[in-house]
């Protein structure tokens, strides 16, 4: 028969386990482990020498594909923007593609002097198949309109061209992983070569990681850098500006820097 002390210590132990985060019982019925046969189980029969028929029949595991190497090869082969768009759309190395409705590649004028690189499509972009069309995109349009530039500007000197590091929306808008970014870099670099803008604007950490190999946007913003042979201006992402309106003052300073650089280079 159980003593009162046993009941109390069992209850205390259970409470302690719950405190530690245990949420599941292991079995429906209690097991009296003292009543179990203490004889250790007999060792299993030694396996016959040589591979078992099952092992012998198993085919060798397929080597994992090196998606970055595949991406490099395909991207380098794209002779123009249409070929590059087709190559990105057909690329199957990135899991994000399976959850996306659209492959979002670019918008604006490919003859633009400025190429803007964002992070990845969000919900609105995934639905429409165009980059920066949601709230952050509307702010981006207003920001560039303030220095006389836009994605629909008829003259290439006033036009911007917009793309993202990732052409597919990550689930729940999470940040793309380093592996996902790495396999899209060859496409992005080829994209920059084919558009051949005078300068790049990197919106947020993901494009900084892709183009400059480092992040820390709040430190990097507003300072000219050099990436893929071009002047590069890192800026805080418009989605960040929507959440932190006080940072718009610095973003305005960055836009004026871009305008000054374009005038200098004209
Ligand atoms: N944020 C981005 O970085 N890109 C988009 O296209 C939309 C939101």
**Cβ(197) – ligand 1 distance below 6 Å:** no
**Cβ(137) – ligand 1 distance below 6 Å:** yes
**pTM, entire model:** 0.78
> Ligand 1 atom closest to Cα of 118?
3
Q: Is 257 left (phi over 0), alpha (psi -120 to 50) or beta?
A: alpha
How many other C-beta atoms can be found within 10 angstroms of the C-beta atom of residue 140? 26
Ligand 1 center to 132 CA (angstroms): 5
Up-side HSE of residue 238: CA atoms within 13 Å toward CB?
21
| Phi, psi angle pair for 161, to nearest 5° | -125, 130
Task: Record the tokens describing residue 81, joined without a space.
Answer: 């923007």
Please name each of the domains of the chain with its CATH number. 67-265 (3.40.470.10)
Up-side HSE of residue 239: CA atoms within 13 Å toward CB?
12
pLDDT at 87: 98
Ligand 1 center to 150 CA (angstroms): 16
Ligand 1 center to 260 CA (angstroms): 25
Distance CA 72, CA 65 (A): 13
The tens-digit pLDDT sequence of the chain (266 residues) is 445 567 777 777 666 655 554 545 555 566 665 666 666 666 666 655 555 555 567 777 776 789 999 999 999 999 999 999 999 999 999 999 999 999 999 999 999 999 999 999 999 999 999 999 999 999 999 999 999 999 999 899 999 999 999 999 999 999 999 999 999 999 999 999 999 999 999 999 999 999 999 999 999 999 999 999 999 999 999 999 999 999 999 999 999 999 999 999 98
How many other C-beta atoms can be found within 10 angstroms of the C-beta atom of residue 86? 13
Ligand 1 center to 162 CA (angstroms): 10
Identify which of 228, 230, 206 has the alpha carbon closest to the alpha carbon of residue 220: 206
**Cβ(125) – ligand 1 distance below 6 Å:** yes
Distance CA 101, CA 109 (A): 24
Distance CA 176, CA 168 (A): 10
Q: Ligand 1, residues 124, 126, 128, 131: which to mutate, most atoms within 8 A of Cβ? A: 131
**Cβ(118) – ligand 1 distance below 6 Å:** yes
Q: Ligand 1, residues 118, 130, 204: which to mutate, most atoms within 8 A of Cβ? A: 118
Give, in order, the Cα–Cα distances in Å from 18 to each of 11, 23, 27, 28, 33: 11, 7, 16, 17, 21
Ligand 1 center to 208 CA (angstroms): 14
pLDDT at 21: 44
């Amino acid at each position: 028969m159980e003593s009162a002390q046993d009941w109390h210590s069992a209850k205390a132990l259970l409470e302690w386990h719950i405190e530690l985060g245990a949420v599941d019982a292991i079995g429906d019925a209690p097991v009296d482990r003292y009543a179990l046969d203490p004889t250790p189980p007999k060792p299993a029969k030694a396996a016959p020498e040589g591979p078992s028929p099952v092992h012998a029949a198993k085919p060798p595991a397929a080597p994992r594909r090196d998606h970055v190497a595949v991406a490099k090869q395909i991207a380098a082969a794209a002779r123009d923007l249409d070929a590059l768009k087709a190559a990105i759309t057909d690329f199957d190395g990135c899991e994000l593609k399976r959850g996306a409705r659209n492959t979002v590649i670019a918008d604006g004028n490919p003859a633009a002097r400025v190429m803007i690189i964002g992070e990845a499509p969000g919900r609105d972009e995934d639905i429409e198949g165009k980059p920066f069309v949601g709230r952050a995109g509307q702010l981006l349009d207003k920001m560039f309109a303030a220095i006389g530039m836009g994605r629909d500007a008829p003259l290439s000197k006033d036009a911007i061209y917009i793309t993202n590091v990732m052409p597919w929306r990550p689930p729940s808008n999470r940040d793309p992983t380093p592996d996902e970014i790495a396999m899209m870099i060859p496409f992005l670099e080829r994209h920059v070569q084919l558009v051949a803008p005078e300068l790049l604007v990197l919106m947020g950490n993901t494009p900084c990681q892709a183009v400059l190999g480092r992040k820390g946007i709040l430190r990097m913003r507003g300072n000219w850098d050099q990436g893929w042979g071009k002047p590069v201006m890192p800026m805080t992402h418009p989605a960040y500006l929507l959440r932190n309106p006080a940072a718009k003052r610095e973003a305005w300073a960055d836009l004026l820097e871009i305008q000054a650089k374009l005038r200098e280079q004209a």
